[in-house]
Amino acid sequence: MPKKEMNIDLEIFQILNEDGRIANTREMPQLKDDDIKRMYESMVLARVFDDIALKLQREGRMLTYASLMGQEASQIGSALALEDEDWFVPSYRENGVFITRGFPMETLYLYWAGDERGMKIPDGMNALPVSIPVGSQVPHAVGIALANKLTEKKSVAVVYFGDGATSKGDFHEGLDFAGVFQVPCVFICQNNQWAISVPVKKQTAAETIAQKAIAYGIDGARVDGNDVFAVYKVVKGAIEKARVGKGPTLIECYTYRMENHTTADDWKKYRDPSEVEWWKHRDPIERLKKYMEDEGIWNEAYDKEVWDNAKAQVSEAVKKFESVPPPSPLDMFTNIYEELPPEIEEQRKDFE
Ligand SMILES: Cc1ncc(C[n+]2csc(CCOP(=O)(O)OP(=O)(O)O)c2C)c(N)n1
Ligand SMILES: [Mg+2]
């Protein structure tokens, strides 16, 4: 039987190293200075959005929030590789992808403040709402990809999930189906080393997440998830490959969750502070900044402008979301059924 050609690389692919130097000149994607600035500015905006969310939660102005701090290169590098027609299928940690794709920040804050109207996807934006049940979004993305294939749309479904999600049946079902039907789907696993308090070593006996692709006969790649150039290049390549009918890819972005799992967690109970410290030196924003400085496209004045601008945008978003009138309690009856069953209609009337 002929051997199936599969493209799996289990080495961590890197372009921009920890010192902000290009480790791999041949692999550097063709980016204009403005593209690189956009990467930097988007990562800073995501960081400010995140920082303010954590503060608002402490003040009781936001509910449980899942921080993306440390994962900006994985999120922004991948988000910028999507075209508008592509579908974005998120878990709960992809705030950076939402923002980079143009989802209004005030609406995203509304969601994290516990208001379900915050997950109303703007018309024309190809995205599913946040999925809280771990891994459940993977088969949804595969279904979208199959529909795109059957209707001959040039749209690719890009689904995000964590290392912990790869232990869920949904992940395996999704990858198996995607391999069999060769659907245009890209699977992005942000391996941030932890699933709440469970480290990857206890999550799976597999040495890498990327190698799980082998079992399903699809391509797999392992990328330095704190290197925005490497993430952008690998995700873009996988999307373009899927778009021309050459099948799905599983991408493992090797990164780190700098913050608590959510604001309802305390990492000091289960992580060694030296581990967090080690990753601090691999901060994706600092890394890109060093590169830009060497290239002469970063200086203090530009940086101040970038951070000030991000803070102003975020503060405007906070003002807007906090001035949204509260929802009517009757809303709980409106979005479940197209037509209310008689007994629930009766309850609604009583409630009214
Ligand atoms: C089906 C299901 N089981 C358990 C949970 C509780 N839970 C929320 S997040 C999480 C860990 C997920 O870890 P990972 O997939 O690595 O994603 P990360 O949070 O690190 O981004 C768990 C167990 C859940 N939300 N859904
Ligand atoms: Mg994780």
Collapsing DSSP to helix, strand or coil, 25 comes out as: helix
Q: How far apart are CA 164 and CA 194, in angstroms?
A: 7
Average pLDDT over residues 89-111: 98
| Ramachandran category for residue 150: left, alpha or beta (phi over 0 → left; psi -120 to 50 → alpha) | alpha
Superfamily of domain 8-351, CATH level 4: Thiamin diphosphate (ThDP)-binding fold, Pyr/PP domains (3.40.50.970)
DSSP state of 86: S
Side chain identity, residue 192: N
CB 119 within 8 Å of CB 129: yes
Q: How far apart are CA 139 and CA 252, in angstroms?
A: 18
CB 223 within 8 Å of CB 182: no
Q: How far apart are CA 45 and CA 156, in angstroms?
A: 26
Active site positions, annotated: 257, 261, 270
Confidence (pLDDT) at 233: 98
**pLDDT tens, position by position, 38-70:** 999 999 999 999 999 999 999 999 999 999 999
Task: Provide DSSP, 198-228.
Answer: EEHHHH-SSS-STTHHHHTT-EEEEEETT-H
Average pLDDT, the chain: 96
Distance 137 CA to ligand 1 centre (A): 12
Distance 312 CA to ligand 1 centre (A): 32
Please list, residue by residue across 317-350, b when 16 or more beta carbons sit within 10 angstroms of its beta carbon and e when fewer do: bbeebeeeeeeeeeeebeeeeeeeeeeeeeeeee
Place of tokens 């203090």: 300
Residue nearest atom 13 in ligand 1 by C-alpha distance: 195
Confidence (pLDDT) at 4: 66
Give the predicted TM-score (pTM) of the model: 0.95
Work out the pLDDT band at 334, boundaries 50, 70, 90. confident
* Index of the ligand 1 atom closest to the CA of residue 166: 15
Distance 204 CA to ligand 2 centre (A): 12
Residue 111 burial (CB count, 10 A)? 23
Collapsing DSSP to helix, strand or coil, 57 comes out as: helix
Residue nearest atom 25 in ligand 1 by C-alpha distance: 133
**pLDDT tens, position by position, 262-302:** 999 999 999 999 999 999 999 999 999 999 999 999 999 99
> Closest Cα to residue 167, out of 130, 205, 132?
205
> Closest Cα to residue 223, out of 80, 13, 75?
13
Q: Is the CB of 215 under 6 A from ligand 1?
A: no
Q: Is the CB of 192 under 6 A from ligand 1?
A: yes
Q: Is the CB of 74 under 6 A from ligand 1?
A: no
CB 94 within 8 Å of CB 161: no
Domain ranges of the chain: 8-351
Q: Is the CB of 256 under 6 A from ligand 1?
A: no
**pLDDT tens, position by position, 11-41:** 999 999 999 999 989 999 999 999 999 999 9
Residue nearest atom 21 in ligand 1 by C-alpha distance: 162
Beta strands in the chain (DSSP E): 8-13, 87-89, 157-162, 185-191, 194-195, 198-199, 219-224, 249-254
Distance 136 CA to ligand 2 centre (A): 15
**pLDDT tens, position by position, 139-191:** 999 999 999 999 999 999 999 999 999 999 999 999 999 999 999 999 999 99
